Structure 1
Amino acid sequence: MYSESDLNAAVEAGALSRTAADALRDHVAAARRAPVVDEEHFRLLTGFNDIFVSVALALLLVSLAWIGGSILTPLGGLGVAGAAWFLAEYFTARRRMALPSILLLLAFVGGVAGTLFGIVIEAGPQNLSPRATAAIFAGIALVASGAAWAHWKRFMVPITVAAGAAALVAVVAALAVVAFPQLAENFYPITLIGGIGVFVAAMRWDMSDRERRTRRSDVAFWLHLVAAPLIAHSLFQLLGVFGPTVTLPMAVVVIALYVVFGVVALAVDRRALLVSSLAYVLYALYALFQQAGAVELSAAFTAFVIGSALLTLSVFWQPMRRGVVSLLGDLGNRLPPVAMA
């Protein structure tokens, strides 16, 4: 299967004309009865060799972390970061392998952060105040975001921007705890604001490529994957969904929020919010069925209701999205195009 990145690379190399590439996209969209944008493509595998190489990379990087850490704690992260960058020069810059590139990016950023954590463990005092701990964490997260930026400038792996955004959210959350130590007990308002910020960034990348035919769309996809759990998890935790009991009003609020997330997902043509908040609506419905007396079958009823709803949404995604976008007026013209009736 050829991805959008492969088609764009073929056009840039002159192996395929832009007209032919557009004709191929239109043919595939017509055969699937859906516009290309509705497929929400992202590149993860170019073949089974990606999995083979990724397993080998994971074994190598874990062994480097283990050996280096046994000598001196910071050496574990340093070895992983150095090896990840070196290997990316081949598997990312030359081979353009999708899954190994993602793994190497995460290993590099994680290795940089791990090196700094190792230095703190080796040299830092044992009993730090919450404010000092948050300040150290903010510094490490800031360096990690800088590492992600450097990796992006060299290799431009789409997930890199999302990794940097997640690190920046961590920086903001940690600095907020430094300024207001009481937030250490409940930092969900900060992560909620951070999630909204990442969502806005994702939409900026999305709106710059409405047809979703370039790397910018892939960047937006990963940003949405970061934003969705930050928004959903923070919001539902603030509501106390996983408290001792789920009351009927609470369950109604959870389901209503899930409907709102569904409307947003339809408008922006991204499904990450629906997936990230799924556990909460499942829990709320499960609790309701138990309170209604269906103790033995509460899990089955919950799975049946949610599974049926999601399948219905999938089948009627295009007409439902058409209706939602039509209500947005001029804003709808800045979102990904909808399928014609």
Structure 2
Amino acid sequence: MSEAPTERPVSSPSASSARPSDEMLPFLNNFHDIFTTIGVLILLGGLGIGAGQVLSNLGLESGSLRWQMALMGMIGGIAVIVWFLSALLVGNQRRILPGIVLCGAFGISVTIVLSWAYIQLATQGLGLNEAYFESRFANAPDDMEFGREAVDYVLANIPFALRIAGIVFGIAALLPVAMFYFSFRLPFAGGLMGVGLATLAALTLFTIDPYTVGVWSPAVNVAIGGALLLAGIIFDARDPQRETRLSGTAFWLHFFAAPILLTSVLNVVQVGWSLDEADFVDPEAFSLLAALASNSANAMQLAVVALVVIALFALVSLLINRRALIVSGLLTAGISIGVIVNGSGLEAPAVVAITLLTLGGIVVLLGAAWNPVRRILLLPIPGEGPLARIFPPVSAAEG
């Protein structure tokens, strides 16, 4: 994922009224991006509807192998069209917002085709069908409960080609995004690639020892979020002036890291670093949304912890001059404030009003006092050297 830090800037400073420490938009150049994106969405909609009409006119039996092959062929054809559009709009014209849409369309299309090919290889080529599994598990104990013994029994009765299904699906999702990133250097694709690599690492561990990874899934999720946050900081350190596409990639890494890290930390607070076997029997017992929606003391505790974590996100955001971490946590912050206010016994309209006023006021204050607060926080940090690349100093000319 490395690239030279001497790349051309994402946007020209002379063409912008933004102050030096203000973040450029990593998803929009100008209104022409919006105009082009509308056209891309309309075109993709037409391609999808047109492919559906062609498929229905072929007269193939719905769900049959030939029907599936025709469908995959059309999806693959759409992926090819999307690639050529990307070469024009992203590769030549550097259109960012259309590139995000095209990256999503290309990634989804190729992932579907590759996943289907793997499923067909397993079912048609290797004979891993329903009859196969019925014969393999015909003598399975009826009273076997979830645990390491049950997981080991299942693993012993499925072939290697099926055990690596998670890795195959992870690669199927990562490959088109990596192709897009290395071909067009789109920052959004770089962020998605980071998520894909972290997820693939977790899926690989799950393939090696599914029981241990499943039990320690709260800790694994925290590690994924932390890895993405660290990757974003590394990319930012390579472009402290926020001028190249390295900085854009860092934005998306931070943007994806924040919700993963926040929800993971809250799950750790709720259930601990690992799960009990009983949790797998009743997944709703560790549902984060269900816990926050309840009127229990646990909901109040989670809400307080969520605000503490978001406050830490705000501190890190100020230090590294990245607002993406805060933006990603606004929804959870609003829910948490609402839970706390609701504990006072106020009626619903009052709860909503106080929640919105509190959340909006905090965001406005942060926006207005961003640089002065950063200047105070950065006083003990040297203005030059390696730390200054991670924590960019505030210009004396900025308010």
The alignment partner of 1:38 has SS state of: coil
Alignment correspondent of 1:85: 83
Q: Is residue 2:228 matched to residue 1:198?
A: yes
Report matched runs for 1:177-216 at 5 Å. Answer: 177-182=206-211, 183-184=213-214, 187-216=217-246
Counterparts in 2 of 1:267 and 1:133: CA distance versus 1, 3 Å = farther
Asked if structure 2 preserves the Cα contact closer than 8 Å seen for 1:224 and 1:272, the reply is: yes
Alignment correspondent of 1:333: 388
* One-letter code aligned to 2:393: P
Q: Tell me the alpha carbon deviations over residues 160-200 of structure 1, each in whole angstroms, 9 at most, x when there is no partner.
A: 21121111122122222223323447734223212211221
Shift in Å, 1:239 = 2.5
Question: 2: distance between equivalents of 1:100 and 1:112?
Answer: 18
Alignment correspondent of 2:304: 252
| Identity percentage of aligned residues | 23
Shift in Å, 1:206 = 0.9
Asked if structure 1 preserves the Cα contact closer than 8 Å seen for 2:378 and 2:393, the reply is: no
* One-letter code aligned to 2:222: L
Alignment correspondent of 1:117: 115
Asked if structure 1 preserves the Cα contact closer than 8 Å seen for 2:28 and 2:97, the reply is: yes
Question: 2: distance between equivalents of 1:257 and 1:145?
Answer: 30
Q: Tell me the alpha carbon deviations over residues 9-54 of structure 1, each in whole angstroms, 9 at most, x when there is no partner.
A: xxxxxxxxxxxx6xx37x835xxxxx32323432424314223322
* One-letter code aligned to 1:169: A
Alignment correspondent of 1:307: 360
Counterparts in 2 of 1:285 and 1:41: CA distance versus 1, 3 Å = same
Question: 1: distance between equivalents of 2:162 and 2:269?
Answer: 27
The alignment partner of 2:42 has SS state of: helix
Q: TM-score, normalised by structure 1?
A: 0.81
Question: 1: distance between equivalents of 2:252 and 2:47?
Answer: 23
Q: 1:36 aligns with which of 20, 37, 43?
A: 20
* One-letter code aligned to 1:95: Q
Question: 1: distance between equivalents of 2:374 and 2:20?
Answer: 14
Asked if structure 2 preserves the Cα contact closer than 8 Å seen for 1:77 and 1:110, the reply is: no
Q: TM-score, normalised by structure 2?
A: 0.70
Shift in Å, 1:155 = 1.6
Alignment correspondent of 1:5: 10
Q: Is residue 2:53 matched to residue 1:55?
A: no
Question: 2: distance between equivalents of 1:146 and 1:247?
Answer: 40
Question: 2: distance between equivalents of 1:217 and 1:65?
Answer: 38
Deviates more, 1:116-125 or 1:270-279: 116-125
Question: 2: distance between equivalents of 1:100 and 1:212?
Answer: 22
- Higher-Rg member (1/2): 2
Asked if structure 2 preserves the Cα contact closer than 8 Å seen for 1:158 and 1:222, the reply is: yes
**Where do 5+ consecutive residues of structure 2 fail to align?**
1-7, 56-62, 134-153, 271-287
Which of the pair is proportionally richer in helix? 1
The alignment partner of 1:36 has SS state of: coil
Deviates more, 1:129-138 or 1:266-275: 129-138
Question: 1: distance between equivalents of 2:29 and 2:189?
Answer: 17
Shift in Å, 1:260 = 0.9
Asked if structure 1 preserves the Cα contact closer than 8 Å seen for 2:241 and 2:392, the reply is: yes
Q: Is residue 2:254 matched to residue 1:224?
A: yes
Question: 1: distance between equivalents of 2:51 and 2:174?
Answer: 21
Q: Is residue 2:194 matched to residue 1:152?
A: no
Alignment correspondent of 2:339: 287
Q: Tell me the alpha carbon deviations over residues 132-156 of structure 1, each in whole angstroms, 9 at most, x when there is no partner.
A: 7673132232243233333223222
Question: 2: distance between equivalents of 1:156 and 1:76?
Answer: 27
Counterparts in 2 of 1:6 and 1:269: CA distance versus 1, 3 Å = closer
Give the count of matched residue pairs: 318
* One-letter code aligned to 2:363: L
* One-letter code aligned to 2:203: A
Cα RMSD, aligned residues only: 3.0
Question: 2: distance between equivalents of 1:150 and 1:298?
Answer: 48
Counterparts in 2 of 1:324 and 1:114: CA distance versus 1, 3 Å = same
Counterparts in 2 of 1:144 and 1:291: CA distance versus 1, 3 Å = closer
Q: Tell me the alpha carbon deviations over residues 54-105 of structure 1, each in whole angstroms, 9 at most, x when there is no partner.
A: 2234314534774679552533542332222122222222333222222222
Shift in Å, 1:121 = 4.2
Q: 1:272 aligns with which of 302, 324, 346?
A: 324
Counterparts in 2 of 1:101 and 1:82: CA distance versus 1, 3 Å = same
The alignment partner of 1:226 has SS state of: helix
Alignment correspondent of 1:318: 371
Asked if structure 1 preserves the Cα contact closer than 8 Å seen for 2:303 and 2:340, the reply is: yes
* One-letter code aligned to 1:81: A
Counterparts in 2 of 1:159 and 1:250: CA distance versus 1, 3 Å = closer
The alignment partner of 1:212 has SS state of: coil
